[in-house]
Amino acid sequence: MSELTHFNNQGRARMVDVSEKEVTKRTAVARGSIRMRPDTLTLIREGKIGKGDVLAVAQVAGIMAAKKTSEIIPMCHPIPLTGVDISFEEKGEDTIQVEATAKTTNVTGVEMEALTAVSVAMLTIYDMCKAADKGMVLEDTYLVSKSGGKSGDYRRELED
């Protein structure tokens, strides 16, 4: 079984040395869902039809957060992101699924960038709708897939 590599020989956290790792193209996809009251989802949807667009703000927030990942997550390496995209999909009458894709050409991967983008996009939706619905829940957030790098590709087995 793999060890936790984020600790030095004093047993303390360190930013792992990746100097010898190879530069490759890397992609990661993450996904999360935010569940709300159906009338809250209606409000968001109507906002889209007019010009007030909760999801447009969440999209910008998620992309900007992806760029801040190494500032927010202590042991993350700073990464020259070459692309970030976020999309939204309604699931049933009460849930929005957020999916983020992050890309780089670098010695380390972009899993944390994709997961951070998803989390912050959902937190932004919460923030913008919380006057109407404080009971919203950020549901399962996980890595969907990653490619590139020595450890090989990863693809989560999804139920739906």
| Minimum distance of its own copies from residue 10's CB (angstroms) | 5
Q: Scanning residues 24 to 53, which ones bind its own copies (CB under 8 A)?
A: 25, 32, 39, 43-44, 47-48, 50-53
- Binding-site residues for substrate, please? 75-77, 112-113
Q: Does residue 153 touch its own copies according to CB under 8 A?
A: no
Q: Does residue 91 touch its own copies according to CB under 8 A?
A: no
**Whether residue 127 lies in the annotated active site:** yes
Q: Which residues contact 76 (CB under 8 A, 6 or more apart)?
A: 15, 69, 70, 112
Quote the CA–CA distance of 131 and 19 in Å, as a whole number: 48
Q: Pick the binder of its own copies from 29, 36, 41, 128 (CB under 8 A).
A: 128
| Minimum distance of its own copies from residue 45's CB (angstroms) | 11
Which of 112, 115, 138 lies closest to 125, judged by CA?
138
Print the SS3 string covering 81-96.
Answer: EEEEEEEEEEECCCEE
Residues annotated catalytic, as ranges:
127
